[in-house]
Structure 1
Amino acid sequence: MQTHSLNRALEFTESISGRSNVAQISQDLKHLTESFGYSNFVLATFARHGIHGTPCIISTCWSDEWTRRYLDSHYIMDDPVVARGMRTSYPFSWREMLADPDLSEKGQQILLEARDFDMADGLYIPIYGPRGYEGTLAFGGQRVALQNDESHALHLAGLYAYRQGLQIACPDLAEEPIDNPLTGREIECLKWTSEGKTSGEIGDRLGISRHTVDWYIKEATRKLNAANRAHAVATAMRHKLIG
């Protein structure tokens, strides 16, 4: 992960860690959104009503018209972007989804209508946790050509933002504080991962093989009930297991 993108993500996580209300988090998210070339965002949880129920929007800068239409028309039931999030825990762009020959008529309608609200393109970050697929942070705008390091940085920022937003807006759904379940080596590997190092680079620094680094990170991910290494890093940062 290149330093500039990573620094923006880490500055964001540091900023929102001290926030006490959703309005402050919304301001931070708006700044992050624009700094990566997008124009709008939505941070939402499915944890209260399930993936086929009405999502609880924690924070958004969607227009009021689109927000009402999406919720009142129960678009989540047919949204192809949300559905794709059920099949991956990694961020993806929805720019090319209109060309999918298997796209339903309703799904096509939702994507076309979203374009009228400045969401022709976007990055969707599925949020997974102990409940499974439980939320999202989605950035929307016109065509945005993200580099891989920028996508990874937004993934880390999104996972952190979701947990912080949930803690404030829906405290009954938030994670309980945890004792440190990690070994010293697992913490070292996660800390270097948070700084953008690959498994090979971490192995060189610690004098161990890449495969051993992968094993430590896999164990840390399991212990933290995380979906992937980015989720493990965000969880460790939120619980102050790594600095």
Structure 2
Amino acid sequence: MKETNEPALQRGADADLLFDVDPASVQTEYEVLQLMRRLVARYGYAHFLIARLPMGEEQRFSERLVLSNWPADLVRQYDAEQVFPASALVERLRRTKLPVIGGPELLQEAGRGMERGVTRQLQRYPEMARHFALLLHATSGEPFLAVLSGSREEPIGGERAMIYLALVQLFECLERTFDAGQPARERLSSREIECLRWAAAGKSGDEIAIILGISAYTVASYFKSATRKLDAVNRVQAIARALRLKLI
């Protein structure tokens, strides 16, 4: 997607933090995504994610993701092996408010060797050799983690502080988009919510049609209207937003 015409993004080659952007002017998840892309480019990283910290029995990594450009096959491997909740990264973030910095071992299950399939997947992405991670809390108290991954050396001193502050500010912008999405609960119809719920459970459009006793064409129309109401670009993003807003 072409990254132009971004009203909230005031370009500036020498800008720090949010690159001369007034955080109050950032209103959409798309704008936050563009800011995150500029942040990783500014500091020499390649990948990023913001995710809800695993709680209780919630295991699926993909359902915890809020903002990410991780490779899809790596996300699938994390889901298949249920590594995320037991990872060294999550374990360490639970015990500190300071940035956690390290190598591939952070993304492995704590206390285990490096023999799992996730390791083989990570070896395909040398640009994910080092990680800078931070624990963040929403105003409601819900814990999130932010991770920047790249092949660059560990940031130190003032640069580390700048990255920390930029992530805190970006998360504040992102949290505002959560609040902006709350009216979606009232706007979505019960049928739209049902379709999203079954899709999140892995059912295809044809299967949902059989379950609900309606045509596949009608199911597709419900997805289309739900995607529009949730301000999503496709069905997958609509499901992710509905999960985040606890609509399904």
Interval containing the TM-score (normalised by the shorter chain) = 0.5 to 0.7
Partner of 1:19: 26
C-alpha deviations, 1:125-181, integer Å up to 9, x for none? 1114566671111000113231221111111111222232133146689xxxxxxxx
Provide the rounded CA distance (Å) in 2 between the counterparts of 1:65 and 1:96. 16
Q: Is the 1:93–1:121 Cα contact (8 Å) retained in structure 2?
A: yes
Q: Which has the higher contact order (CA 8 A, sep 6+)?
A: 1
Note the alpha carbon deviations across 1:198-241, whole angstroms, 9 max, x for none.
xxxxxxxxxxxxxxxxxxxxxxxxxxxxxxxxxxxxxxxxxxxx
Name the structure 2 match of 1:160.
169
Please say if residues 48 and 149 of structure 2, whose CA atoms lie closer than 8 Å, have aligned partners that are also in contact: yes
Cα offset for 1:8?
1.2
| Structure 2 letter corresponding to 1:28 | L
Report what 1:29 is aligned to: 36
Measured at CA, do residues 158 and 83 of structure 1 come closer, stay the same or move farther in structure 2, by a change above 3 Å?
Answer: same
Identity %: 15
Partner of 2:5: none
Distance 1:171 1:86 in 2: 28
CA root-mean-square deviation = 3.3
Q: How does the TM-score come out when normalised to structure 1?
A: 0.56
CA contact (8 A) 1:78 1:106 kept: no
Give SS of 1:9's match.
coil
Pairing partner for 1:40 from 43, 47, 54: 47
- Mind listing any 5+ residue stretches in structure 1 that lack a counterpart? 1-5, 174-243
Partner SS state of residue 11, structure 1? coil
Aligned counterpart in structure 1 of residue 55 of structure 2, from 50, 58, 62: 50
Is this contact kept in 2: 1:40–1:140, CA < 8 A?
Answer: yes
TM-superposed CA distance for 1:94, in Å, is 1.4
**Cα distance, 1:120–1:161 mapped onto 2, change above 3 Å:** same
Residues 10, 162 of structure 1: alpha-carbon distance in 2 compared, 3 angstrom cutoff: closer
Counterpart AA for 2:133: Y
Q: How many residues align?
A: 163
Question: CA 1:82/1:110 → structure 2, altered by over 3 Å: closer, same or farther?
Answer: farther
The question of whether the paired residues in 2 share the 8 Å contact of 1:58 and 1:169 is answered with: no
User: Could you tell me which residue of structure 2 aligns to residue 214 of structure 1?
Assistant: none
Provide closer, same or farther for how the CA distance between residues 25 and 96 of structure 1 changes in structure 2, counting only shifts above 3 A: closer
Give the alignment partner of residue 72 of structure 2, picking from 64, 74, 85. Answer: 64
Q: How far is the alpha carbon of 1:64 from its aligned partner? A: 1.6
SS of the residue 1:8 aligns to: coil
What TM-score do you get using the length of structure 2 for normalisation? 0.55
Q: Which has the larger radius of gyration?
A: 2
Residue 140 of structure 1 aligns with which residue? Answer: 149
